Structure 1
Amino acid sequence: MAHDTDILIIGGGLSGTMLAVQLLRQPGRRTIVIVEPRAELGRGEAYSAVELGHTLNGNAARMSVDPDNPNDLTQWLTEHIAAGGWPESAEQNVPISELFPPRGLFGVYVQQRLAEARRVGAQYGSTVEHICAEVVDLQTAVDSLQLRLSDGQIVDGAYVVLATGMFPAARTAQKHSSGLNAAALDPWDVAAMRQLDPHSTVMIIGSGLTMVDAVVSLEQAGHRGPIEVFSRHGLLPHVRRQPPAWVDFLGEDHGIRTPRQLLRELRRQCRDAIAQGIDWQAPLDTVRVHIARLWGQATDVQRRQFVRHVRPWWESHHHRSPPLSAALVERLQLAGRLRIHAASFKGLEPGAKGGVSIRIRRRGESETCVMHGAALINSSGIEYDWRRVARPLPQQLLERGLVRPGPLALGIAAAVDGAVLDAEGRAADRVFAMGPPLRGMWWESTAVTDVALQAKALAARLVRKG
């Protein structure tokens, strides 16, 4: 079964859906096919959560999917709540712009914006079709491209966009795996956690935002026992607050070019803020709009130094936890139920009976030790290295040289306009990427605002090419 399509989008999560929205809004007639194995578009990995406790990590004012209207989500929530939706929003007791909506509700918002774009596109004669399957291979020809799907279909198109989204470590089959995922519970699987002895010990690998979600899941499952968290640096995400505006110091001083210069100046700005009685998060929040420029002009040595030495602190300060979730983690810590250990996971320990045993090495120590619990959760975050992702499409594209790893093996390499680079460094004419696969190019390429801006820019390029 073949489809003659203008634009094939691989992935129907936030990235692929937002690209479709932008294409449908453009004048002109075009056919769009999104290949996404989930039954629904617009949710992807991040927004398929069903528990109300799994909320966005940013408040509504920061999470608009419309790059031309930063208040889009706030306006949608205002209408949704007024119509009787999400009655639990009153519990947060803040203005709507400062609400942290459930991720599942955010998925509904994205789907509604897609439905509206479909109606606009229909006026131009444009259509979008969802094929519920997984892409397992991509074949290139002179004037067309072919996708081979898991159900045997072959789909033809003029252009292909890799909008594959994120590969969470907890749900991603990995080459050379330690077997962690096979032994671990999914951080978002509340139903599985309800099967545990509520007073048993649960171990968690990783202390970032996925760990926070896992703790929320355990709480909602009725777990009341000890929680032992292990991560190399033992750092927790800071709670996200709503600081006042701060001067855009990077916009005023383009002499700051290296990661070291940025950190030195950022620390100075934060000290100045604290001295004035202003939240230190205010200066930090001005940095995001400059990240792509700073990362792009850094050398590979500087990038490697940043990833190796600064990244854990950057992520704990920059990728902050929603207030309700952070309050839960703090409450469990104060009660002595949740403990954070600065320790590296060294592997599963065989022979455990009635639970799971792991081997760890505590920070600053040379010897390893064994820890035991009733269950283990892998909250080690996102796998950006496509060479480690044991899915058919990434492996096929890498093995045949159609793509190559991005800087520091973060995602895949691409030109500035999103055209993917092959193993020889040549830019493709008809294959593009957006969102998380471009982590190595822009560093921050996963947030809603980042994806929305990329979708708008790429849609304009594809329309010009078409």
Structure 2
Amino acid sequence: MTDVVSRHADVVIIGGGLSGTLLAVQLLRQSHARRIVIIEPRPELGRGEAYSATELGHTLNGNAARMSVDPGNADDLTEWLTRFIDDGGWPQSAEQSLPVAELFPPRGIFGLYAQQRLAEARAAGARYGATAEHVRAQAIDLQTHAEQVEITLDNGQVWYGRQAVLATGMFPAARTALKAPGGLNAGAVDPWDVQAMRGLDRQARVLIIGSGLTMVDAVVSLDQAGHRGPITVISRHGLWPHVRRQPPSWPDFLAAADNVRSPRQLMAEVRKQCRQALQQGVDWQAPLDTVRVHIARLWSQASERQKRQFVRHVRPWWESHHHRSPPPSDALVQRLIREGRLTLQAASYQRADGTTLTIRRRGESTSVQLQGDALINSSGIEYDWRRVDKPLPRQLLARGLIRPGPLALGIEADVDGAVLDAQGLVAERLFAMGPPLRGMWWESTAVTDVAAQAKRLATTLLSRC
């Protein structure tokens, strides 16, 4: 066991999923001797919540050309995946009948890719005396001091770092404890737990709350578990995710559009560009795909009122059009819809009593009950840290070391990732990256966004050593 004296590091990264792993990779690539410690309860680094899936049917929702973890090489995943397939690592890839750059790899395989990049960075860092150690535990408390940050773990250890980074990743609503007894997660089946779904009757009527990409994963899980019964999806806005296609390139119309400065102006211009594309016989996804690189800038310069309007009125349509389903999963969804097994009801969820849901359908004033044999909570990600029933977020809020981000999306930080405390003061030694900064940049969860943040934050941390 590591003794107390040696429990000191230059950088302590809290969270060893993709965010924390990519930050460690960038730090290790710097030609400086440093000790990096990654606090992560899972047995493996690089997987986190998103890439721990082992079923081949749970794929990335972006093709390989869009998912590089190297900000300097957009083809990094494509090149790695080509070698992986050539070595016999994914024989099922032939079923997609696509060039490697256009393949949608399983998330479990993507986790292997992230792990290999970490292994390579560790080897490179060793030449300069840099190390990255995995401490398998959960951080449950944190305090900041003048010269260091103190992190308490659930195994009783206390670690000290000159700097600490909150790279906690996402908190799926399906795996976020709900305090109310009998709440939505009480007795619900995990959307990714194929083994648990094998215990259901094959003809069981399954109710799913939420119609986003987590719902798509749940439908894939049910299919792989051998389920053949009816599935009813409850969604407030009644929207399915669109399938991701491979559209041709489109001019970056926002690069010189100085007049587009608010979410409303953005949506108006996007609609205009999509109409123009359709008139030219071009897929509407082409102009939409040029928008991502501008989202952080547009979101950060929008007013609080404009952000609220976007979240309230535009977000559901933005999510269904922008966060699209991978083609293999969408093909399953469309087949089940055609067969009449998968149906969608536009309704708001009110409460759950076991597997009985009380809902109010859109346009109706009275509530009705739906009886199912099984329930799945696919309502997405819980970004409000005040609602996350985990020790570290609770302690950070209680100590006033963080404060909710804009619209209670994640936590607030400055442009360099230094967190703001309850009084709005910028921390000297505590930083955040990835999904916790959703409220700051809106799109702060995609692989390319996280990779770019990791590179910038590594430079910032180095400059403050």
- TM category (shorter chain) comes to over 0.9
Q: Deviations over 1:375-426 (max 9, x none)?
A: 0000000000000000000000001100000000000000110000000000
Q: CA deviation at 1:177?
A: 6.8
Which amino acid in 2 is paired with 1:275? Q
Who is 1:210 aligned against? 214
**In the alignment, what sits opposite 2:417?**
418
Distance 1:191 1:29 in 2: 44
What's 1:364 paired with?
Answer: 363
The aligned residue for residue 113 of structure 1 is 117
Letter in 1 for 2:372: G
Q: Does 193-202 or 385-394 show the bigger shift?
A: 193-202
Q: Which amino acid aligns with 2:439?
A: G
CA 1:177–1:5: 2 relative to 1, 3 Å = farther
Q: Which one of the candidate residues 265, 277, 283 is aligned to 2:281? A: 277
Aligned partners of 1:202 and 1:357: how far apart in 2? 11
Equivalents in 2 of 1:98, 1:384: separation in Å? 31
User: By how many angstroms is 1:179 displaced?
Assistant: 1.6
Q: Which residue of 2 aligns with 1:445?
A: 444
User: How many angstroms does 1:161 deviate by?
Assistant: 0.2
- Residue correspondence of structure 1 range 54-453 to structure 2 within 5 A: 54-176=58-180, 179-349=183-353, 356-453=355-452
Distance 1:177 1:23, change over 3 A: farther
Query: For 1:335 and 1:157, how far apart are their aligned partners in 2?
Result: 56
- Deviation, 1:149, is 0.1
Residue type of the partner of 1:313?
Answer: W
Q: Does the alignment pair 1:454 with 2:458?
A: no
Q: Give the conservation status (yes or no) of the 8 Å contact 1:176–1:388.
A: no
Which amino acid is the alignment partner of residue 15 of structure 2? G
User: Aligned partners of 1:254, 1:375: CA distance in 2, in Å?
Assistant: 51
Question: Contact (CA 8 Å) 1:17, 1:41: kept in 2 or not?
Answer: yes
Does the CA-based 8 Å contact 1:216-1:325 persist in structure 2? yes
Could you report, residue by residue, the CA deviation over 1:41-86 in whole angstroms, capped at 9, with x for unpaired residues?
A: 0000000000000000000000000000000000000111111110
Give the gaps of 5 or more residues in structure 1.
none
Structure 2 distance, partners of 1:454, 1:319, is 20
Alpha carbons 1:49, 1:103 under 8 Å: kept: yes
Query: How many Å apart are 1:174 and its aligned residue?
Result: 3.4
1:80 maps to a residue whose letter is F
Question: 2:81 and 2:32 mapped to 1: Cα distance?
Answer: 31
Q: Give aligned pairs, total.
A: 461
Once the two structures are superposed, what CA deviation does each residue of 1:343-371 show, in whole Å capped at 9, x if it has no partner?
1110113xx6xxx1110010111100010
Q: Deviations over 1:418-462 (max 9, x none)?
A: 000000000000000000000000000000000000000000111
TM-score, with structure 1 as normaliser = 0.98
**How well do the aligned residues superpose, as a CA RMSD in angstroms?**
0.8
Deviations 1:181-221 (A, max 9, x none): 12210000001111111011000000000000000000000
Tell me the secondary structure at the aligned position of residue 249 of structure 1.
Answer: coil
Aligned partner of residue 279 in structure 1, secondary structure: coil
Aligned-partner residue type, residue 290 of structure 2? T
Q: Distance in 2 between matches of 1:396 and 1:419?
A: 18
CA–CA distance in 1 between the matches of 2:240 and 2:390?
31
Identity %: 69
Residue type at the aligned position of 1:45: E
Letter in 1 for 2:451: A
Check whether the contact 1:175–1:388 (CA below 8 A) recurs between aligned residues.
no
SS of equivalent residue, structure 1 residue 16: helix
CA contact (8 A) 1:55 1:103 kept: yes
Aligned-residue offset at 1:176: 4.8
Q: Deviation at 1:290? A: 0.2
Q: CA distance change for structure 1 residues 420 and 174 in 2, over 3 Å: closer, same or farther?
A: farther
- Tell me how far 1:260 sits from its aligned partner: 1.1
Give, in angstroms, the shift of residue 178 of structure 1: 5.8
Tell me what 2:31 maps to.
27
Deviations 1:4-48 (A, max 9, x none): 110000000000000000000001100000000000000000000
Offset of 1:289 from its aligned partner? 0.2
Worse overlay, 141-150 or 43-52: 141-150
* Over 3 Å off, 4+ runs: 174-178
Aligned equivalent of 2:18, options 7, 10, 14:
14
Q: For the structure 1 residues 5 and 283, does the alpha-carbon distance in structure 2 shift closer, same or farther, using more than 3 Å as the test?
A: same
**TM-score of the pair, normalised by structure 2:** 0.98
CA contact (8 A) 1:66 1:452 kept: yes
Alpha-carbon separation, structure 1, partners of 2:304 and 2:195: 44
| Kept in 2: contact 1:175–1:389 (CA 8 A) | no
Q: CA deviation at 1:175?
A: 4.3
